[in-house]
Structure 1
Amino acid sequence: MRELTPEPLTAAAFAPFGSVIEASDAATKIDINQGHAVRYDALAEVDVADEGGRAVISLFRAKPLGELVLRTFERHPLGSQSFVPLGGRPYLVAVAPAGAFDPAAVRLFRAEGHQGVHYRKGTWHHFLLVLEESDFLVVDRAGPGDNCEEVEVELADRIRVRL
């Protein structure tokens, strides 16, 4: 079984899969509310309109896996997805490029509690990998069509996470 150690989540490293949602110096900043707030503008582009889809906001409450082995990946061909942690707790992000799923191409990131992620349409990703129970604000697609494809990773290609 292959092992992966999480790498830090940075905008540059995550760019092939989507965007990092965070208040960083690289973001476009706009003073608003008479100077009492700063808007970190357009951190990710919601892409959900295919086949009559619409954007929805949900709350996910995730629990840790008993054993940190990556067995299943999913992708959403009709819409992008954003996950923003609400409790300030770090979590893990496992992704692979769009196209045919390639377990050798999986990358593993450690996201800090102030960083959200935005997956582009078609990006393979593991479901939420939290280290302790955590809530996430999720921007997702609702509407007609089949927008979730899953792949079960072959036993020999499964990935054990090293922390």
Structure 2
Amino acid sequence: MTFNNLPIAPLTPDAFAPYGDVIEVSGQARHFTINDGNTERYHDLAHIDPGPNGKAIVSIFRGLPRQLPFTVSMMERHPQGSQAFMPLSGHPYLVVVAPAGAAPTLDSLRVFLCQSTQGVNYRTGVWHHPLLALDQASDFLVIDRSGPGENCDVVNLSPPGIINAAD
């Protein structure tokens, strides 16, 4: 079986825009002071979409660490709502994404290295790989959809791709 290398890019709002939102404290985010000058609020950082008849829920996912090189052999999407991940454990992690629509191909995959201060919000229907914690088990605050109907499609990639350690 042939494996195709998937390059890793740094996570930036512009590079990730086709797939969703980057959730982070930055000068680019709308922010203002609240609580009698004691708190800086970074406002409305992600479009949370619970879809029709859904509700937004908050969970914590604990991801076991993945070792590089890592084989990407499947992808999933949530056709009825967005899914946001915010790291809680202070460790970098990877995201693998492909545009919403038809099942992804290796050519459509993008891999991003996310810093421990950056979260992601996958738009409704965006293909992504399940959680890819690095180094050690990591907790993530997750905001996604609960409600009626199936909300997880899974496809296998053939051939698979491989993520090598960053140079």
Relative to the length of structure 2, the TM-score reads 0.93
Q: Distance in 2 between matches of 1:143 and 1:19?
A: 23
Q: Distance in 1 between matches of 2:40 and 2:74?
A: 39
Residue aligning to 1:19: 21
Residue aligning to 2:126: 123
**Runs of 4+ off more than 4 Å:** none
Q: The residue matched to 1:35 in structure 2 has which SS?
A: coil
Within-5 A mapping of 1:1-150: 1-50=3-52, 52-65=53-66, 68-103=70-105, 104-131=107-134, 132-150=136-154
Report the residue type matching 1:38 in the other structure. E
Q: Distance in 2 between matches of 1:141 and 1:102?
A: 23
How far off is 1:4 after superposition?
Answer: 1.5
Structure 1 unmatched ranges of 5 or more? none
What RMSD over aligned residues (CA atoms) do the two structures have, in Å? 1.0
Report the residue type matching 2:153 in the other structure. E
Paired residues, number? 160
Percent identity among equivalent residues? 47
Structure in which a larger fraction of residues adopt helix: 1
